[in-house]
Structure 1
Amino acid sequence: MPNLSRRNLLRGAIGGGVLGAVGLATVPQMVHAANGLPLTVVNNTGTYSSDQIFVHVVGTHLSTGKMGHIKADGNFAEIASSDNGSDGYASYGIRLSEMKTLPLATLSGRVYISMGQQLKFRVVGTGSGIGLQYPAGWVSSDPSYGILHDFMEFTNNDSGMYCNTTMVDMFGLPMYVTLKGATTQSIAQYEDGARSKIFAAMSKQSGFEKLVMDDLRIMAPGHGLEQGLFSSSYFDGNVNARWSQYSSATMNLTANNQKYTGKIEGSNFVFRQNGTVKATFAKPSTSDVLFCNGALAAPNDGVGGPIAAVLAAGLNRGVLLKTTQPVTDPSQYYAGERVNHYSRIIHENTKDGKAYGFAFDDVCEQASYIQDNAPTSVTLTLQAF
């Protein structure tokens, strides 16, 4: 089973937090998950009692392709339009005080944690298909915007458990995952007091300060750009400098265990192997760099995708000027001024230095991602803040 990074962990299963995948409308069915992988959520917040914390497990059932949620009794229930209450929203939260462990069926989905009240999901669509709209904490008009929350992502299938905590969209709560199975692994545990330190550092970082949404969350800069709160030209000077540099210099790049040489030809970054063109990239915009998309989109082709990931990681980390890529030494990351300081600050506040600060943060294994092919349990620990 290949490593399922965040880039393909939920491919085809979740629509990035706004509109979930659409499945055919059917009579809702229950899938018993009692023998699923046990999920435990530990409350170490010191701020909220377990009676004030809600757990929502949503996603796509891998054996049916239908979206749904796990109920408190351990059953997976397919979504239905009738899930929307009188206020127009579906309530899928389970009070943590009423939950010991929750069995995860074979799902690709998310575990949302909210403080004080349940998140507001919405079943949308008519006719031949319905889908599930997720909270989008970076959108001020979202019905869950005012609720303190965060989430982890996972795919639990017959080959194992693949999961991560993610800051690609936002940072709200300090939490980390422990996965037990063939080994016991924990990833991206935050330092003591990390949340307040991250908020303070971001508030002082020029160009990033508007991404701090009161004491609720910090919006990732890509979403900040969408909302008019972050410069749409932030990376342009750096990108132009690299395009100029590699008009004469040659980049030696290794991706997916293959070696390539890259150089600017015309206006494109062209990568060759033994003289044969393997991938070509137009000059990316700041949005492309932050979202790792557009000109830096990564198709699941084993060639262009891995090369795009290295380029995007190098630009976010400020190390693409190095002619040998990728740069594997994390001590060299984020040294310049025009780097992804959002990602830098979060990485600096985890004990192992791991975090998912942008979508290609798994390059050189810097992401808050773990997997186990013989899992026995997964624990999400909510840390003090």
Structure 2
Amino acid sequence: MIDRRSLLRTAGGAALAAPLLGSAACGTSAGGAQLAAGGQAASSGALPVSFVNESGYPDSAVRLYIVGTDPATGKQGRVRPDGTFAPVKLSDNTDGGYTDYSIPLTEAGGLTLPFMSGRIYLALEDKLRFKVVEDGAGNPALQYPAGWVESDPGFGVLHDTVEFTHDDTGMYCNTTMVDGFCVPLAIALSGEREQSTGRLKPGGRDMVFDAMLADPDYSPLVVGDRRRVIAPGHGIDSGRFSDTYYASYIDRVWSRYSGTDLRVTTNAGTFTGRVDGSGRLAFDGGVTPIEKPSTRDVFFCDGALAAPNDGVTGPVAAILGAAFNRSTLLDTAEHPVTDAGAFYNADVTNKYAGVFHEATEDGKAYGFAFDDVSGFASYIQDHAPASFEVSLTPF
């Protein structure tokens, strides 16, 4: 089931809501409420989480933040060092108008994750700035750092993030480069079996930056002296990347499927489409016709390629979004393509996403929103998790 959704964002670009990860399997998570550090009862489902620092930075330079949403109440909050979930409050803005939810890595021993959906941020050298604001209903909501926005106070801070959903069916987690890349991270789950993903090959971080700097279209996405690379979609919004980069490829795809059937197979069956007289890609089987996308639509898998969680149009749109980013639509009319050797071979392609797959040990990464199509995302899950580990891997 393809059901990953991107973050909701404010008009200013800052993330304002927790990510939603799919969790449709059955089973139970290991462990109920237990005593956390300091003797308080941790939240239901407390899952031990540990951190390994191989970054080359001292532990004293690393801060972590665990933020997200309590599924039982829908409230946004953060995890305290004792493993309990604390809803955010406007009065938390005590540090120059921002919160200080940081947990020093030196104080993270014995930390547990409650049932929640959210993110673990890891920052080096300096604090990240999270701000509590009021949402449209007047409720406290957390405004996340936007590392791709130059005016954001986190822009100059070395940081990266892991996404997760932990509930009574299990633990679902991934590393992500959807917004950008800075700190190389890896994750591991122990439970029903031992699993890990996200680790870069030796020299992998340099491989990413070398590839971006070598391409004149992508080199403006690199910030500072290899400090961060911003994802192309955000690069379009900030003027760093061309908003017509994919235009010629999109035109060729639309031309091809004006006279040739495109077949997309999902869990619900195979749907046949063709560009109709109104310029839309029209499928049989109740799929909502898809307008001709823009370059921004391709990189964000949004706009014309938005994938509603409806079980029909959503999966078709997600597969098309992946096919555009991987540039496979002119090679075959049968999708999804499952051979990684067929990805990113065209002159016009998402080279940002492609290099992460080259640079990771298992070939998996989350370089765009639907990189999970055909199982290529740096994602793992376990229905009876016993422990979770996040590693800051070598630079």
The TM-score with structure 2 as length reference comes to: 0.89
Q: Relative to 1, partners in 2 of residues 1:160 and 1:17: Cα closer, same or farther, differing over 3 Å? A: farther
* Distance of 1:364 and 1:94 partners within structure 2: 36
**What do you get for the CA RMSD once the two structures are aligned?**
2.0
Q: How does 1:341-360 map to 2 (within 5 A)?
A: 341-360=351-370
Gaps of 5+ in 1: 22-29
Paired AA for residue 19 in structure 1: L
SS at match of 1:281: coil
Paired AA for residue 338 in structure 1: V
TM-superposed CA distance for 1:6, in Å, is: 3.3
The counterpart of 2:260, out of the listed 249, 267, 273, is 249
SS at match of 1:197: helix
The counterpart of 2:82, out of the listed 73, 98, 109, is 73
The TM-score with structure 1 as length reference comes to: 0.91
8 A contact 1:34–1:103 mirrored in 2: no
> Structure 1 residues 123-132 or 186-195, which shifts more?
123-132
Q: Relative to 1, partners in 2 of residues 1:184 and 1:257: Cα closer, same or farther, differing over 3 Å? A: farther
Q: How does 1:104-183 map to 2 (within 5 A)?
A: 104-125=113-134, 128-183=138-193
Is 1:218 the equivalent of 2:229? Answer: yes
* Distance of 2:57 and 2:198 partners within structure 1: 22
Is 1:63 the equivalent of 2:69? Answer: no
Report Cα offsets for 1:326-358 as digits up to 9, x if no partner. 111000100011000000111110011100010
The counterpart of 1:82, out of the listed 91, 94, 105, is 91
Is 1:285 the equivalent of 2:282? Answer: no
Q: How does 1:255-270 map to 2 (within 5 A)?
A: 255-266=266-277, 267-270=279-282
* Distance of 1:362 and 1:39 partners within structure 2: 24
8 A contact 1:262–1:270 mirrored in 2: yes
TM-superposed CA distance for 1:253, in Å, is: 1.5
* Distance of 1:31 and 1:62 partners within structure 2: 18
Q: Relative to 1, partners in 2 of residues 1:86 and 1:95: Cα closer, same or farther, differing over 3 Å? A: closer
* Distance of 2:337 and 2:179 partners within structure 1: 25
Is 1:310 the equivalent of 2:319? Answer: yes
SS at match of 1:77: strand
* Distance of 1:301 and 1:35 partners within structure 2: 30
Aligned residues: 368
- In structure 1, what is the equivalent of residue 22 of structure 2? none
Paired AA for residue 280 in structure 2: N
- In structure 1, what is the equivalent of residue 386 of structure 2? 376
TM-superposed CA distance for 1:4, in Å, is: 7.2
User: Structure 1 stretches (4+) deviating beyond 6 angstroms?
Assistant: none
8 A contact 2:268–2:311 mirrored in 1: no
8 A contact 1:221–1:342 mirrored in 2: yes
Percent identity, please: 45
TM-superposed CA distance for 1:31, in Å, is: 8.0
Report Cα offsets for 1:88-142 as digits up to 9, x if no partner. 0101111111111321111100000000122111011288311111000000000
Report Cα offsets for 1:170-227 as digits up to 9, x if no partner. 0111111101111111112110111122112111112000000113211000000000
- In structure 1, what is the equivalent of residue 4 of structure 2? 6
8 A contact 2:8–2:17 mirrored in 1: no
* Distance of 1:128 and 1:338 partners within structure 2: 45
The counterpart of 2:341, out of the listed 331, 334, 348, is 331
Report Cα offsets for 1:214-250 as digits up to 9, x if no partner. 1321100000000011000011111110110011111
* Distance of 1:128 and 1:263 partners within structure 2: 46
8 A contact 2:47–2:385 mirrored in 1: yes
* Distance of 1:379 and 1:16 partners within structure 2: 30
TM-superposed CA distance for 1:35, in Å, is: 5.3
